[in-house]
């Protein structure tokens, strides 16, 4: 895989191209049909950079980047795949395929952790779509034009955003609402643009969202959560919008705020092409900082060496490791889940191999309903084997940074699977979250 330099235009591939791409991986007709069946339920999208520069086609279907963006037939129950494959094979009407796919989706917990009900703030009693306010200092903003990605990760917990079901979508094109909300909430110091991928937006659109925030004195940082450095680094190099985008970053920094570029890297190979280092250099030159985060995914990055290698490369390239996440309880979670015990072992073994400069990373962390819960370890207390946990972030700030215990369970993959140790309830089950919803 040699990266051919120079600016080529961005080229997206969608389900229309799936059959042809799978043929490139050597999948026979039967296997292609079953993957296409999965793609009617879970959205598929990738681009020429990922296909040509990141995937090692000679290693398909085991190649980690292939597994990262292409649906896999065992992501859904066998009966569902067979039913959908049957419909596709018989050239059933699109409406029937869609209906079957929709029914299967609804069984996949499309909006975990109370995203739709619990975190939507209100202005004058009216819910503000496209905003989430869960932790007092940070507001999440989902710009309407940023609700897609340069490529879709197969493990994405935001897949509901991508399938165009209006009930499942949360997005806003109204920056006025955000500004008004922030002004009414002086505790908010950080705005996190998220999606999808906000960097899919043109500079002109991004600017419309960012500029009105620059005059708000209470805002100390603007963050952009993005996979673009991994999936489309040319966005910051040869893209016609690259220069203007970097200038916008500089304007944020010159307004006295930190512009934190939250880069999503799932596998070390995403760091390899030279253009990534070039893009990193340009972003840093703009005055922005780059922090990195990713979920721990079975079969893609579930070895300690993969993480220690990523953290070291990222640090060498000028980026700051930030979070290792536990994969969320949505979509094909059974397929990707790593147990909490295993996740902690992988984190610890990786963490033990890196210098202090990489140890800015926290995790493994679950973004659960009450907050971000970090698995600190497994130990024995008073003759009982327990998980030691703490909140990195919590809906209720009282809980942040206080250790708590759960019975050790080698099969647990999420907070819901855990039972409290030395107590009847977990600390987050005692307290009422401050009611920000009626603010």
Q: Does 197 bind ligand SF4 (CB under 6 A)?
A: yes
The reply to whether 414 sits near ligand SF4 by the rule CB under 6 A is no
Q: Is residue 69 part of the contact set for ligand SF4 (CB under 6 A)?
A: no
- Is there binding between residue 169 and ligand SF4 (CB under 6 A)? no
Which of ligand SF4, ligand PLP, none does residue 158 bind to, with CB < 5 to 8 Å depending on kind? ligand SF4
Element (H, E) at 130: none
In contact, 322 and 293? CB cutoff 8 Å? yes
User: In the complex, what is the shortest distance from the CB of residue 53 to ligand PLP, in angstroms, rounded to a whole number?
Assistant: 30
227 near ligand SF4 (CB under 6 A): yes
Residue 176, exposed/middle/buried by CB under 10 A (0-12, 13-18, 19+)?
A: exposed
Residues 349, 422: contact at Cβ < 8 Å? no
> Which CB, 329 or 396, lies closer to ligand SF4?
329
> According to the binding rule CB under 6 A, does residue 158 interact with ligand SF4?
yes
DSSP β-ladder status, 289-296 and 12-14: unpaired
Residue 404 contacts which entry, ligand SF4, ligand PLP, none (Cβ below 5-8 A, type-dependent): none
Q: Which of residues 307-366 bind ligand SF4 (CB under 6 A)?
A: none
261-300 residues in contact with ligand SF4 (CB under 6 A) are 264
Instruction: Beginning with the edge strand found earlier in the chain, give each strand of the sheet holding 289-296 in spatial order.
Output: 131-135, 138-141, 190-193, 221-226, 258-264, 289-296, 320-326, 362-368, 371-381, 384-394, 403-407
Radius of gyration of the chain (CA): 22
Which residues 378-397 are close enough to bind ligand SF4 by CB under 6 A? none
Applying CB under 6 A, the span of 173-181, 192-200, 278-286, 338-346 interacting with ligand SF4 comes to: 192-200
Burial of 92 (0-12, 13-18, 19+ CB in 10 A): middle
Interface contacts to ligand PLP, rule CB under 6 A: 132, 134-135, 138, 140, 192, 367, 372, 392-393
Residue the block writes with tokens 């370890």: 377
What the block records as the tokens of 143 is 């710009």
Q: Least distance in Å: CB of 194 to ligand SF4?
A: 8
- Say how far residue 272 (Cα) sits from the centre of its chain: 21
Of these partners, ligand SF4, ligand PLP, none, which one is at the site of residue 134 (CB under 5 to 8 Å by kind)? ligand PLP
* Contact partner at residue 149 from ligand SF4, ligand PLP, none, CB < 5 to 8 Å by partner kind: ligand SF4
Distance separating alpha carbons of residues 404 and 410, to the nearest angstrom = 18
Comparing CB distances to ligand PLP, the nearer of 325 and 336 is 325
Nearer to ligand PLP, 92 or 392 (CB): 392
With CA atoms as reference, report the closest residue to 326 among 348, 295, 298. Answer: 295
Residues that bind ligand SF4 (CB under 6 A): 149, 152-153, 156, 158, 195-197, 227, 264
């Amino acid at each position: 895989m040699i990266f051919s330099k120079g600016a080529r235009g961005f080229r997206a591939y969608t389900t229309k191209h799936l059959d042809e791409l799978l043929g490139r991986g050597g999948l026979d007709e039967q296997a292609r049909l079953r993957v296409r069946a999965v793609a009617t339920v879970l959205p598929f999208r990738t681009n020429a950079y990922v296909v040509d520069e990141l995937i090692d086609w000679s290693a398909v279907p085991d190649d980690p980047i292939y597994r990262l963006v292409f649906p896999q037939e065992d992501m859904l129950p066998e009966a569902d795949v067979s039913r959908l494959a049957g419909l596709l094979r018989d050239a059933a009407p699109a409406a029937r395929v869609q209906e079957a796919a929709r029914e299967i989706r609804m069984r996949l917990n499309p909006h975990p952790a109370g995203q739709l009900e619990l975190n939507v703030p209100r202005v004058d009693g009216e819910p503000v779509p496209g905003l989430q306010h869960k932790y007092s200092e940070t507001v999440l903003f989902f710009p309407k034009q940023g609700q897609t990605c340069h490529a879709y990760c197969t493990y994405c917990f935001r897949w509901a955003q991508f399938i165009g079901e209006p009930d499942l979508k949360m997005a806003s094109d109204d920056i006025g609402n955000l500004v008004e909300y922030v002004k009414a909430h002086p505790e908010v110091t950080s705005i996190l643009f998220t999606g999808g991928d906000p960097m899919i937006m043109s500079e002109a659109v991004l600017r419309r969202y960012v500029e009105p925030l620059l005059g708000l004195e209470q805002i100390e940082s603007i963050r952009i959560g993005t996979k673009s450095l991994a999936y489309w680094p040319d966005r910051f190099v040869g893209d016609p919008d690259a220069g203007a985008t970097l200038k916008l970053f500089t304007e944020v920094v010159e307004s006295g705020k930190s512009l934190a570029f939250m880069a999503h890297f799932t596998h070390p190979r995403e760091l390899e092409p030279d253009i990534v280092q070039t893009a990193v250099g340009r972003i840093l030159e703009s005055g922005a900082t780059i922090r990195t985060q990713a979920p721990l995914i079975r079969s893609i990055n579930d070895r300690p060496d993969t993480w220690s290698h990523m953290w070291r490369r990222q640090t060498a390239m000028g980026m700051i490791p930030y979070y290792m996440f536990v994969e969320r309880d949505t979509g094909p979670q059974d397929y990707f889940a790593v147990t909490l015990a295993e996740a902690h072992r992988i984190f610890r073994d990786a963490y033990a191999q890196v210098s202090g400069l990489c140890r800015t990373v926290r995790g493994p962390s679950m973004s659960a309903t009450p907050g971000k819960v970090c698995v600190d370890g497994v130990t024995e207390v008073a003759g009982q084997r327990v998980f030691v946990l703490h909140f990195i972030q919590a809906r209720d700030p009282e809980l942040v940074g206080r250790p708590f215990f759960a019975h050790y369970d080698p099969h647990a993959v999420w907070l819901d699977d855990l039972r409290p140790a030395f107590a009847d309830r977990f600390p987050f089950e005692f307290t009422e979250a401050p009611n920000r919803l009626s603010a």
